Chains A and B, each alone.
Chain A
Amino acid sequence: QVQLVQSGAEVQKPGASVKLSCKASGYRFTSHSMHWVRQAPGQGLEWMGIIDHSGVSKYAQKFQDRVILTRDASTSTGYLELGSLTSEDTAFYYCAREDKLGTIDFWGQGTLVTVSS
């Protein structure tokens, strides 16, 4: 069965960077795109970007200058790196798979990132 297992919680200082991982299993990793979505405490879902099945990334304009999505096909793992952190980046970060028809169908369990001095 499809599983997306994300790395553990992070605490970072303002100005720092964080790199999160999302290990996929139960499907052919390189045949599917992976999305990253975040959710600040008590807030809604916010799309950050996608790395498609061929490894090409596209980012929401809000994060364009400080986010990088990568993947390692050999370990079926996707990564999100977010730089220049501020307290407003405190949130749960989710990875999610896209099926071949454009549906976001499976989600990871989420990783809490806390930015605090």
Chain B
Amino acid sequence: SYELTQPPSVSVSPGQTATITCSGDALPKQYAYWFQQKPGQAPVLLIYQDTERPSGVPERFSGSSSGTKVTLTISGVQAEDEADYYCQSVDSSNSHYVFGTGTKVTVL
């Protein structure tokens, strides 16, 4: 089955930049989406269609895409950004949705 691979964890100091990658074979053909999930809460949409940011999401969150990899960048990380982050896309072979393995961001 189709998989989206993320690093298990990323650590970053406040004010620095955090970069989270998501790799998948179908990413050149399918959009990627990013969600943030804090403990005890439902996921929240951060990025859609690879690079677009919904209204209300801070500008420090941005998305990019290159080949089989998409990237979520958090510029000027704040303590409140400590959370789990998931990418999501679609399996081109059957149009099933898939979530990445998840990345825990720790703010030092």
A-B contact pairs, 28 of them (CB 8 A): A37-B99, A44-B86, A44-B99, A44-B100, A45-B37, A45-B43, A45-B86, A45-B88, A45-B99, A45-B102, A46-B99, A47-B98, A47-B99, A58-B95, A58-B96, A61-B1, A94-B43, A101-B48, A101-B49, A102-B31, A102-B90, A104-B33, A104-B88, A104-B97, A105-B45, A107-B44, A108-B42, A110-B42
- Cβ–Cβ contact B49 & A105, under 8 A: no
Interface residues of B in 10-65 (CB under 8 A from A): 31, 33, 35, 37, 42-45, 48-49, 54
B residues less than 8 Å from A54 (CB atoms): none
Partner among B49, B99, B100, B102 whose Cβ is within 8 Å of the Cβ of A103: B49
- Cβ–Cβ contact B33 & A44, under 8 A: no
- Cβ–Cβ contact B42 & A109, under 8 A: yes
Interface residues of B in 58-83 (CB under 8 A from A): none
Q: Digit string of A51-86 for contact with B (CB within 8 Å is 1, else 0)?
A: 000000010110000000000000000000000000
Output the least CB separation between A109 and chain B (Å): 6
A residues less than 8 Å from B86 (CB atoms): 44-45
How many cross-chain pairs have Cβ atoms below 8 Å apart between A and B?
A: 53
Given contacts A104-B33, A105-B54, contact A47 B42 (CB under 8 A): no
Assembly CA distance A110 to B40 (angstroms): 10
Chain A: interface secondary structure?
strand
B residues less than 8 Å from A58 (CB atoms): 95-96
Residue B101, interface by CB 8 Å: yes
A residues less than 8 Å from B88 (CB atoms): 45, 47, 104
A residues less than 8 Å from B33 (CB atoms): 103-104
Output the least CB separation between B57 and chain A (Å): 11
Q: Digit string of A81-99 for contact with B (CB within 8 Å is 1, else 0)?
A: 0000000000000101000
CB closest residue in chain A, given B99 = A45
A residues less than 8 Å from B35 (CB atoms): 45, 104
